[in-house]
Amino acid sequence: MRKLDGSTVLLGLVTLFLGVFLLLPMAVVLVKAVYFKGHFTFAFMAQLFVHPGIREGMWNSIQIGVYSTVLSAVIALPLAWICVRYRFPGRPLLNGLMLVPMVMPPFVGALGLKQVFARCGSFNLLFESLGLPMVDWLGSGGMLGVVLLEVLHLYPMMYLNVAASLSSVDPVMEEAAANIGAKPWTIFRRITLPLMMPGFFAGAVMVFIWAFTDPGAPLVFEYRACIPVQIFDRLSDMNENPVGYVLVVFALVTSVSFFLLSKWITRRKTVIPSGKGAALASERVPTMLGYAVIYFLLTVTTLIALIPHVTVLLVALSDRWFMTILPEKFTTEYFRLAVTHRLAASSIRISLVLSAVSTLVDVVVGVALGYLFVRRRSLWTEWLDSLVMLALAIPGIVLAFGYLACFKDISFGRFTLDPMVDAFPLLIICYSVRRLPYMVRASYAGFQQLSETFEEAARNLGASAGCVLRRITVPLVSSQVIAGAILTFSFALFEVGSTIVLAFREQQYPIAKAIYLLNMRLVDGPNIASAMGIIGMIILSISLVVTGTILGNKMGELFRAR
Amino acid sequence: MVNVSIANVSKQYGITPVITDMTLSVEPGDLFFLLGPSGCGKTTLLRMIAGFTEPTAGTIMFGERNMRGVPPHRRNTGMVFQNFALWPHLTVEQNVAFGLDVRGFSREDKKRMTTDALTLVRMNSYAQRYPHQLSGGQQQRVALARALVVRPDVVLLDEPLSNLDAGLRIEMRKEIHRIHHELGFTMIYVTHDQKEALSLATKLALMNCGVMIQVDTPAQMYQNPSSVFAAQFVGETNILHGRVTRNDKNVLAVDLLSGALLCPTARAAREYVAGSAVTVSIRPEGLHLTPDPQGANVWPCVIAETTYLGEVIQLVCRTRDAVLRMTMLNTAGAHPRPGDKRHVSVNPAHVRILDAE
């Protein structure tokens, strides 16, 4: 028998952890959807196709997912093309700007957008004063607003994937086609496009899953006819009524199928990265007209992307803003309230702690796994890799619902997993499981770039194992690890789906749930909530800037390399 | 400096043997070459000396010290890697100083020794650069300085020139020769390039499929290969097959289809009795066209191919059972042409009689 070494123990522990906190809840949800009061029945499953409210919700959610994906592609594809293929002043800045939308989650943006685009919001009032007809900006009941917010939040995800894929297309492949007489458009259609498809699909599926299952923006718009909100609404009677499980199963199956489909497509057409600096050779300097088009596109995109930020800021600063185009009076009172108000202040603190702890867990586990996946390849690590990545396909609200179904009654002595008593353990676990893929991928990339001979050279020159780790390995992978950690932290800070499901007691509310609750308070709730959103955004921006300073100009590459 | 002795070392990965029962000894000051085709186990052997892998069986000794279980960082070797392995986050100077750092040298000593090492490889003006700002040859020099600066007991070079282009390779070959000459370090050098080995080695070990074929000086290896593999791998040669007809005290007669061959018994790898099948290796420089069809070791042949190379002409001629390659100096007079019927004379000094294959 083989000796039990550290890496085997670690793989075993992580497998066990993911088995219990990823696979088990999903299995329980699947079972409870068809097994009710002691016997199997597909009657509740049939509700998906019979019940008019549920059918409407399904249709709406699918539309939100599809529209968001298509729109994100429309924005991201030209941007990626421009940024990878053209050299122009200000391009490095663009990689930074790409992060701006990511620091503003849809449910925060919704607070501001509601004020500006509502039936009696700024735009319609402006139109009215100009004698133009009023427009239903948010679309039937708010779907358009939801799509807009999802797109403005998610198109960077598409951009990063497409840009990475595009920059790994070897220009030699295009040159080879040109050499045998293909015209530029033919080259794009027959060579470049197929080669960048894997990146596009990877991005598209992530955008779809996020938009399709995000309950945050719809809740703020009070747009209830979609699956994630319907799941949320059925939490209270999940023990008596299995329809909640059925909805969760629908969301789960849809997400996972799309995820697997994209993995399958990607697997078949993997781009083999070519020699050094291949992408550089294909960079072009645009013509005058080209410059005009590029800067016009960039300006418009950036301005549109900033709409949620600006409107949220306005709401947070406005003293009175009712039936007027712009606020009548400004105040900083709501910022003061955001840090002193019992619910608001504690939620910010709680979110920071939860995010930090789950990030720490992910860094430790993710770096170890990244190392093992690169250096100790085996069937087990490949299988575990797929399992970790599966977390990307499981929506937060679905996972949290599964946790409730599984762990509500579990406790060991004084330690309990019951979120009604103490939500923190499950929240931390949930955040960690959901963000682990980013950390693993980031450190995986780091270790893959790190040739083993770098470590051997140091060993050879007399450095002990600890010294090699400290002076060679860690510095060489640190940039990837830091990037992964920041991504993990910022996503956890504004995590909505699992937070609103798992946080039950007001004194344990993280930011997302506090904003949800405050938004429903009539008088100053939305203003305080907006101020909280801005504070969260500032924290995120600072952490991104700090990383940028530490990493220097490598920052942009990192988010691209992922 | 120490001598490195390898005794009965074997290495297996799973059930695949990589090195089988290998024994050799590297003397202090040697520039010792491990030569062999790719996949013959030479890099594995080097990595076992460095301590990155342990042998499955056998012992590796540095002087009187058995190295089994000694981790790489306690072996005091200086290794130059095939891909150089310069740490990208450190400058040239920091790369070179790393080994001194972990050995706890003072700041002044570190500075002085680093500068000395960089001067030795002619890179002192690049101290503040990062590896990615250097050309391949420059990176190679820094890698060499990094390995030498710690005054290792033995310097290990793993195909150090294989990532360089042809011109640089020859330049760096001279450079390594100079440095070895100046400092007298014990060096173990892995390569599959026999020209590199012949031109640099003080001693070389030829390996194939994890087995040691022959250990000798370059000249001995070339003149007296002990096997057909050695004859073919080190230098060019012509291979013929025949049977020993007579073996008296001084002269060995071999019957080849091409003709009879008489040579001193000293040219045989071992004692052969009359009747044994043998393989004969004849170096190209041991073959000449001759106008005189009489005499020993002269065989009829037909010119098959001529290649004009300037100062020499390369010839391929066909005898009754073999195709022979030779070169002739481009002297005045009529050059042989394809189809010409001529005679070829074999100089027994360039012949080697080997076990039949």
Domain ranges within chain A, ordered by starting residue: 16-559
Residues from chain B that touch A476, judged by Cβ atoms under 8 A, are 87-89
Do residues A149 and A305 make contact, with C-beta atoms less than 8 angstroms apart? no
Structure tokens at A310: 């600006």
- The string of pLDDT tens digits covering residues A290-312 is 888 888 888 888 888 888 888 88
Structure tokens at A222: 């009070």
**Residue B229, CB-side half-sphere exposure with 13 Å CA sphere:** 13
Q: Which of B81, B89, B102 sits opposite A467 (nearest CB)?
A: B102
Question: Does the beta-carbon distance from B98 to A467 stay under 8 Å?
Answer: no
Closest CA to A397 of A232, A256, A150, A206: A232
- Give the β-pairing of B31-35 and B187-191: parallel
Average pLDDT, chain A: 79
Question: Does the beta-carbon distance from B150 to A461 stay under 8 Å?
Answer: yes
Residues from chain B that touch A552, judged by Cβ atoms under 8 A, are none
Count of CB atoms situated within 10 Å of the CB of A554: 14
Question: Does the beta-carbon distance from A467 to B50 stay under 8 Å?
Answer: no
Structure tokens at A205: 């599926």
- Residue A32's pLDDT is 79
- The string of pLDDT tens digits covering residues A26-54 is 888 888 777 777 777 777 777 777 788 88
Quote the minimal CA–CA distance from B24 to chain A in Å: 22
Place of tokens 């039937």: A140
- Residue B234's pLDDT is 92
Burial class (CB within 10 angstroms; exposed 0-12, middle 13-18, buried 19+) of A217: buried
CB-based contacts of A54: which residues, under 8 Å, 6+ apart? A47, A48, A230, A243, A247
Quote the minimal CA–CA distance from A169 to chain B in Å: 23
Query: Which ipTM value was assigned to this complex?
Result: 0.77
Quote the minimal CA–CA distance from A550 to chain B in Å: 14
Higher pLDDT, A277 or B68: B68
Quote the minimal CA–CA distance from B346 to chain A in Å: 50
pTM of the model: 0.74
Residue % of chain A over a pLDDT of 70: 88
Question: Does the beta-carbon distance from B72 to A456 stay under 8 Å?
Answer: yes
CB-based contacts of A4: which residues, under 8 Å, 6+ apart? none
- The string of pLDDT tens digits covering residues B121-133 is 889 999 999 988 8
Is the Cβ of A458 closer than 8 Å to some Cβ of chain B? yes
Is the Cβ of A553 closer than 8 Å to some Cβ of chain B? no
Burial class (CB within 10 angstroms; exposed 0-12, middle 13-18, buried 19+) of A280: exposed
Higher pLDDT, A89 or A181: A89
Do residues B32 and B187 make contact, with C-beta atoms less than 8 angstroms apart? yes
Mutate to test the interface with A, among B73, B130, B146 (most CBs of A within 10 A): B73
Q: Is the pLDDT of residue A86 over 60?
A: yes
- Residue B205's pLDDT is 95
Mutate to test the interface with A, among B43, B44, B52, B82 (most CBs of A within 10 A): B52
Three-state DSSP class for residue A377: coil
Topology (CATH level 3) of domain A16-559: MetI-like fold (1.10.3720)
Q: Which of A453, A462, A476 sits opposite B102 (nearest CB)?
A: A462
Mutate to test the interface with B, among A461, A468, A480, A550 (most CBs of B within 10 A): A461
| Phi (first) and psi of residue A305, to 5 degrees | -65, -25
Question: Does the beta-carbon distance from B74 to A458 stay under 8 Å?
Answer: no
Is the Cβ of B146 closer than 8 Å to some Cβ of chain A? yes
Q: Nearest 5°: CA angle at B303, between B301 and B307?
A: 145
Taking a contact as any Cβ pair under 8 Å apart, which residues of chain B between 42 and 101 contact chain A?
50-52, 71-79, 81-83, 85, 87-89, 98-99
Q: How far is CA A212 from CA A150, A226, A259, A273, A393, in A?
A: 9, 9, 13, 32, 11
- Give the β-pairing of B154-158 and B187-191: parallel
What DSSP string runs through A67-98?
HHHHHHHHHHHHHHHHHHHB--TTHHHHHHHT
CB-based contacts of A169: which residues, under 8 Å, 6+ apart? A192, A195, A196, A271, A279
Residues from chain A that touch B91, judged by Cβ atoms under 8 A, are none
Quote the minimal CA–CA distance from B113 to chain A in Å: 15
Q: Is the pLDDT of residue A436 over 50?
A: yes
Q: Which of B76, B89, B156 sits opposite A462 (nearest CB)?
A: B76
